[in-house]
Amino acid sequence: MSTLLEVSGVSVSFDGFKAINNLSFQIGQAELRAIIGPNGAGKTTFMDIITGKTRPNEGRVLWGEKSQSLLKMSEAAIARAGVGRKFQRPTVFEDQTVHDNLLMAIKNDRSPFSVLFFKPKFRDLGRVEELAAEIGLSDQLHRKSGELSHGQKQWLEIGMLLAQEPRLLLVDEPAAGMTLSEREHTTDILVEAAKTRAVVVVEHDMEFVRRLNCKVTVLHEGSVLAEGSLDHVTQNKDVIDVYLGR
């Protein structure tokens, strides 16, 4: 399996505090990966580095078959290259309808002029319907997304991510604030998505991670502490000491 994203020797510090310390990580073309770690382990900073929000002090972030460096690219260019990100708190455009939210996310030319003259084609509208069905919002398409429940907003955001057709999906605590059945649905969507692309899930909830049934990376103080199956890492003595043992 070839590598999609390779992060090597990355460090970043804020005012002397090392948020990420010599971290290395790689993920394949179609792989599901969970990242766990205590608060302050650097999970969010790690995502910020990949998506271009934070520039690391040192290290390399290489992307795709051509091993292109992501460090020189803007956030928008990285997103267009195929990195999609879901934030911890659901961020959808509340003033706009579910339909408009999805249409905005669907993969198309993103330059101002082509967007100005954009007319949704049959294919785009079909894709909106399809995605809405997948995230269970088919009958909510013309409601303003601000009126949706918390869980529905989370799904809408996942739907928008899928609409972008990213090759790598970064998902920050997708199950936060969801009911049990909503969690199961979310797990299904993520497992399904990981069949065709790389998915990285940051999660606190062990039960949720167990249900994902995938390789787990444990972060601690900005670097990788252990990596392997969930059972493997939960038996690791270091992991028990710093994380589970608390």
Partner 1 sequence: MKNSFILRNPSVLIFLGVLALFTLGVTFMSEATGAGLISTSFVKTLGKTLCLCLIAIAMDLVWGYCGILSLGHFAFFGLGGYMIGMWLMYERTRQIVTLSMANAEIPPTDQEVVDAIGSQIFGVVGSSDFPPIWSFADSLPIQLALVLIVPGMLALIFGWLAFRSRVTGVYLSILTQAMTLALSLYLFQNDSGLRGNNGLSGLQNLPGTDAIPQSLISIWFFWASALALGLGFLLASWVVSGKFGSVIRGIRDDEQRVRFLGYSVEGYKLFIFVMTAMIAGIAGALYYPQAGIINPAEVAPIASIYLAVWVAIGGRGRLYGAVIGAAFVSLVSTWFTGGQAPDVPLGFYVVKWVDWWQVLLGLSFVLVTLFAPKGIGGLFDLFEGIRSPRRHGAALGPDQGSLQEKEAQE
CA distance 37 to 22: 16
Binding to partner 1 by residue 22, rule CB under 8 A? Answer: no
Phi/psi at 89 (nearest 5 deg)? -85, 135
- Phi/psi region, residue 23 (left: phi>0; alpha: psi -120 to 50; beta: rest), is beta
Q: What is the token pair recorded at 150?
A: 């918390």
211 binds partner 1 per the rule CB under 8 A: no
> Which residue from 110, 121, 195, 232 is in contact with partner 1, where contact means CB under 8 A?
110
119 counts as binding partner 1 under rule CB under 8 A: yes
Distance CA 201, CA 183 (A): 13
105 binds partner 1 (CB under 8 A): yes
Q: Which is nearer to partner 1, 193 or 226 (CB)?
A: 193
Least distance to partner 1, CB of residue 80, Å: 4
Return d(Cα 170, Cα 4) in angstroms, integer.
13
Q: Please count the other Cβ atoms lying within 10 Å of the Cβ belonging to residue 153.
A: 22
Number of chain residues interacting with partner 1 (CB under 8 A): 36
> Are 192 and 200 in contact, with CB atoms under 8 Å apart?
no
Is the CB of 104 or the CB of 206 nearer to partner 1?
A: 104
Q: Which of 8, 68, 76, 179 binds partner 1 (CB under 8 A)?
A: 76
Q: What phi and psi, each to the nearest 5 degrees, are found at residue 136? A: 70, 30
Can residue 104 be called a binding residue for partner 1 (CB under 8 A)?
A: yes
84 contributes a contact to partner 1 by CB under 8 A: yes
Pull the structure tokens for residue 86: 């879901």
> Stretches 117-125, 192-200, 206-214, 237-245: which one binds partner 1 (CB under 8 A)?
117-125
Choose which of 14, 69, 75, 196 interacts with partner 1 (CB under 8 A). 75
Contact assessment for residue 130 and residue 157, using Cβ atoms and an 8 Å cutoff: no
Is residue 100 involved in binding partner 1 (CB under 8 A)? yes
Q: Answer yes or no whether residue 72 interacts with partner 1 by CB under 8 A.
A: no
How many Cβ atoms are within 10 Å of 122's Cβ, its own excluded?
7
Stretch binding partner 1 (CB under 8 A), from 60-68, 74-82, 174-182, 206-214: 74-82
| Whole-angstrom distance, CA of residue 207 vs CA of residue 41 | 20
Residues that bind partner 1 (CB under 8 A): 51, 53, 74-77, 79-80, 84-85, 87, 91, 93-96, 100, 103-105, 110-112, 115-116, 118-120, 142-143, 147-149, 152, 160, 164
